Structure 1
Amino acid sequence: MPFISCGIYIRDHVSKSLFEFFVLFTWAIWKEICKVRHGPNPKQHVIKVQWVHSFLEEYRRAKRSCLPNPDRMQLSLESKWKKPPLRQLRLDVDADFNEQLGLYSVGAVIRDHLGNICVAASRGIRNPGTVVAAELVVVHFGLMLVLQGDFSNVWVFSDSLNVVQAINDFFESLAHDGLIILNISELLRSGRFKKFSSIRRSANSVAHSLANFALFHSSPMSWVEGSYPSWLMDVATLDLSL
């Protein structure tokens, strides 16, 4: 059974606390495997189990003792697209779906401080089960686009507040989409990214248009400078004129 399928099966058949332990312990094993490959001696399994228990308990105690921090939500009330700061980039991502056909798609665009498109991409995806899961897939899709293009100083935006909250507050949603959230969280800590924030749909028109385009084109598409289709340039230009 593939690991992702195994994770989904376990998620659906055990309690939230047990699944949290499973995800964190799996991550700990992966970290130790990396150590084996690169030299240092790995920890014994019993030590990893104790560490996972200690980590989860410490987190839960801290969570109970702290008031909610509004800064973690990073909800932008802006209804218009805004340029990133000088010499920085902006990644916008969005997912779309056709309920009747059962089709899901994702779109991502990276733009500079002048509003110019650096790279754009879209593709269809297999049915992830929920709209939130699709929005998580597109965040990962966009982050990988940044890494593949070797970009840095990137502000990340999604118009799904639920996804932004899930990623910024990792363990609250661990029992639902923990595996992909864990992967996204690791990427966001790579040093290439600024804040991960939520925006309104009206400020995310280019990424939404890319995702919508992918619903009707089965092949993955990507565009770099000089190859952008006219419809994409029209939407991006409209952002700058509002």
Structure 2
Amino acid sequence: MPHHVPTSGACPLCHFGMDSTSHALFSCRAVKACWKETIFWRFLKQVRHMEVLDIAQWMKEKLTRMEFEFFAIRAYAIWSERLKKVHDSDSRNVVANVDWCEPLLRDFQEARKLLTYSRSLEPTNSPKTWIAPPLNHLRLDVDAAYNETSGSFAIGGVVRNDEGQPMLAFGKKITKPQSVLLAELTAIAEGLLLVQDHHLQLNQICSDSLLAVQAVTRPEEDFSYAGTFATDIRRLMCNHNSVTLSHVMRSANKVAHSLASFAISSSSSFVWMPGNFLLWVVNLVILDLDII
């Protein structure tokens, strides 16, 4: 058939039973393996002949909200992979890998938490311009950047004193993290390690990722998907007396963001100290000072 118009109502993958959305997502022999190893299978076995909307309602009543979200995103992944195989000449291993849906779900949950926290904060709580630390104090600003075209992630940061002068700047590419949150936490952790290696004593750490700040400063919250990053950062912070981690707006974190963006296109990692800063970094720092 030159236009790939089906001539039968049978499932094009398992060729067993009439094709329908319910069959395609739950009953088809080619997709059952994607459900059998999950907590959802014991419920799906009871509703295999129901329509999709009825199955969704049934599962919503049986599952917690987080479990139902995972169920929905997994169904979406199965549908996406199935469509690819229906139009392929080789339909073996129909949906052998739908694990890519898990990072997608984590990103969705992180975005929702970020929106919730953002709504709960007063605008004045997060500075919109860079503010120098108190006398004889050092401030570390960090950020993570992502290039959508290349799929590359990088982190960057800068340490400045109470006069706004840069004491250290860094940037490096990182292996693609499972989520944007982990990239932001990596920026904080790497910044702390680098400062420690250069024997600098920090007083402030700032990031424009509200969720990353919350993951570290609110251990009582459920940030299990952040892994051990938040715990490691709290441990590293203990090496600095009374250091604080706080959220700032992107406009107050421009230098760190520029360093992370530069690191994406850089051929190697870099660490700059006074005396070898590039001119554009010095200019960025000067323009970033909150001069009234």
Normalized against structure 2, the TM-score is what?
A: 0.56
Instruction: Describe how 1:146-157 pairs up with structure 2 within 5 A.
Output: 146-157=195-206
Matched, 1:144 2:201: no
Which position in structure 1 is the counterpart of 2:263? 214
Which whole-Å deviations, capped at 9, do the CAs of 1:176-231 have from their partners, x for residues lacking one? 11311111111112234521000000000110010000010130011100100011
Q: What is aligned with 1:127?
A: 176
Corresponding residue of 1:232: 281
Aligned residues: 173
Residue equivalent to 2:228: 179
Structure 2: distance between partners of 1:235 and 1:76 = 24
Q: Is the 8 A contact 1:108 1:141 kept in 2?
A: no
Runs of 4+ in 1 over 4 A off after TM superposition: none
- Kindly indicate whether residue 242 of structure 2 is the aligned counterpart of residue 198 of structure 1: no
Provide the rounded CA distance (Å) in 1 between the counterparts of 2:194 and 2:260.
Answer: 15
Structure 2: 5+ residue stretches without partners: 1-37, 40-121
Task: Give unmatched runs, 5+ long, in structure 1.
Answer: 1-12, 15-72
Residue aligned with 1:210, SS: helix
What corresponds to 1:21 in structure 2?
none
TM-score (norm 1): 0.67
One-letter code aligned to 2:239: S
Which has the larger Rg? 2
- What secondary structure, in the 3-state scheme, does the structure 2 residue paired with 1:233 have? helix
User: Structure 1: how far apart are the matches of 2:209 and 2:276?
Assistant: 29
- Relative to its length, the structure with more helix (as a share) is 1
Q: Is the 8 A contact 2:188 2:233 kept in 1?
A: yes
Report the CA distance shift for 1:155/1:241 in structure 2 as closer, same or farther (over 3 A): closer
Q: Retained in 2: the 8 A contact 1:94–1:135?
A: yes
Quick check: 2:159–2:168 contact (8 Å CA) kept in 1?
yes
1:90 maps to amino acid: R
1:86 match: secondary structure:
coil
Compare the two structures and name the one with the higher strand fraction: 1
Q: CA RMSD in A?
A: 2.3
Query: What amino acid is aligned across from residue 167 of structure 1 in structure 2?
Result: V
> 2:210 corresponds to which residue?
161
User: Deviations 1:95-117 (Å, cap 9, x if unpaired)?
Assistant: 00012211000001100001000
Structure scoring higher RCO (CA < 8 A, sep ≥ 6) equals 1
Instruction: Check whether the contact 1:123–1:218 (CA below 8 A) recurs between aligned residues.
Output: no
Tell me if structure 2 keeps the 8 A contact 1:124–1:218.
no
Which whole-Å CA distance do the structure 2 matches of 1:128 and 1:195 have between them? 25
CA contact (8 A) 2:131 2:290 kept: no
CA distance in 2, matches of 1:118, 1:177: 30
Does the 8 Å CA contact 2:181/2:226 hold for their aligned counterparts? no
* 2:166 is aligned with 1:117: yes
**In the aligned structure 2, how far is the partner of 1:173 from the partner of 1:218?**
37
76 and 141 in structure 1: CA distance in 2 versus 1, 3 angstrom threshold: farther
Distance 1:154 1:241, change over 3 A: closer
Shift of 1:174: 4.2
Mapped partners of 2:274, 2:140: distance in 1: 16
